[in-house]
Amino acid sequence: MSNSLKGRFITVEGGEGAGKSSNLDYIRNLLSSAGKQVVFTREPGGTPLGEAIRDLLLGHQHTGMADDTELLLMFAARAEHLQQKIKPALQQGQWVLCDRFTDASYAYQGAGRGLASDRIASLEQFVQGELRPDLTLLLDLPVEQGLARAGQRSEPDRFEKQEMSFFEKVRAGYLEIAAREPHRVKIIDASKPLETVQQQIDHVVTAFLEQSGG
Ligand code: TMP
């Protein structure tokens, strides 16, 4: 277990159009049905200050934002989120289910923007200390398929406006993390129909619940 607190910390990652929202609801129900008290949150965001930072990051007022600024804002929101919400919940034995976390910084700002991963690692250490997610589900699917799905939704945010090549790098970045940390990061094939995706999620979450003592 990578966090020494009482609760468990589960994160969900994936590219655009991977079906994060409906699958997060599904995971939340699985955990609640297993009797866990679940705190459901997201990054960037999760606190009033974090949500204000999210607006700066995803909105279109600062389209020319420097890559370093983007990275630091992600970690500023994360520092607030950890202090105000994630750590207190874990200390009380609650299970935290978070829509994206630091793997997204490695995938988007690292692989996508090309920032050096050792700089991200030093921010990770600075902001999180030893705290890491206990389990991460990576909803993976080909970029083209994801963008086609995402394109059917509302007005694109600042990230959704990136080129296809950016998202290819993000996907490769996520898969590299999963290859390096197979114990923590479980790849879910999100290109499959919803029912098959949910079966994969069941399998991973059930195994994790068993390993965590029910
Ligand atoms: P989403 O929650 O709708 O997926 O939007 C959040 C966007 O922020 C998404 O495009 C990924 C991006 N992001 C990063 O670039 N770095 C990060 O560390 C996090 C948490 C999100």
- pLDDT on residue 61: 94
Counting ligand 1 atoms within 8 A of each CB, the residue from 159, 163, 166, 170 with the most, and so the one to mutate, is 159
Ligand 1 atom 19: the closest Cα is on which residue?
Answer: 104
Q: Of ligand 1's atoms, which has the minimum distance to the CA of residue 157?
A: 10
Please check if 129 is assigned to a binding site.
Answer: no
- pLDDT on residue 17: 87
CB-ligand 1 contact for 74 (6 Å cutoff): yes
CB-ligand 1 contact for 159 (6 Å cutoff): yes
CB-ligand 1 contact for 44 (6 Å cutoff): yes
- pLDDT on residue 1: 46
Concatenating the DSSP letter of every residue in the chain gives ----SSS-EEEEEE-TTS-HHHHHHHHHHHHHHTT--EEEEESS-SSHHHHHHHHHHHSSTTTT--HHHHHHHHHHHHHHHIIIIIHHHHHTTPEEEEES-HHHIIIIIIIIT---HHHHHHHHHHHHTT---SEEEEEE--HHHHHHHHTTSSS--TTTTS-HHHHHHHHHHHHHHHHH-TTTEEEEETTS-HHHHHHHHHHHHHHHHHHTT-
CB-ligand 1 contact for 13 (6 Å cutoff): no
Taking only the tens place, the pLDDT of each residue in 164-198 is 999 999 999 999 999 999 999 999 999 999 999 99
pTM of the model as a whole: 0.96
Counting ligand 1 atoms within 8 A of each CB, the residue from 70, 100, 136, 167 with the most, and so the one to mutate, is 100
Per-residue confidence of the chain (214 residues) as pLDDT tens digits? 456 678 999 999 998 889 999 999 999 999 999 999 999 999 999 999 999 999 999 999 998 999 999 999 999 999 999 999 999 999 999 999 999 999 999 999 999 999 999 999 999 999 999 999 999 999 999 999 998 888 777 788 999 889 999 999 999 999 999 999 999 999 999 999 999 999 999 999 999 999 998 6
Q: Are 98 and 44 in contact (CB under 8 A)?
A: no
Q: Of ligand 1's atoms, which has the minimum distance to the CA of residue 20?
A: 4
Domains, the chain, with CATH or none: 9-211 (3.40.50.300)
**Ligand 1 mean position, distance from CA 99 (Å):** 9
Taking only the tens place, the pLDDT of each residue in 71-91 is 999 999 999 999 999 999 999
CA dist., res. 168 & res. 173, Å (int): 9
CB-ligand 1 contact for 11 (6 Å cutoff): no
- pLDDT on residue 213: 82
CB-ligand 1 contact for 104 (6 Å cutoff): yes
Cβ count near 22 (within 10 Å): 10
**Ligand 1 mean position, distance from CA 90 (Å):** 23
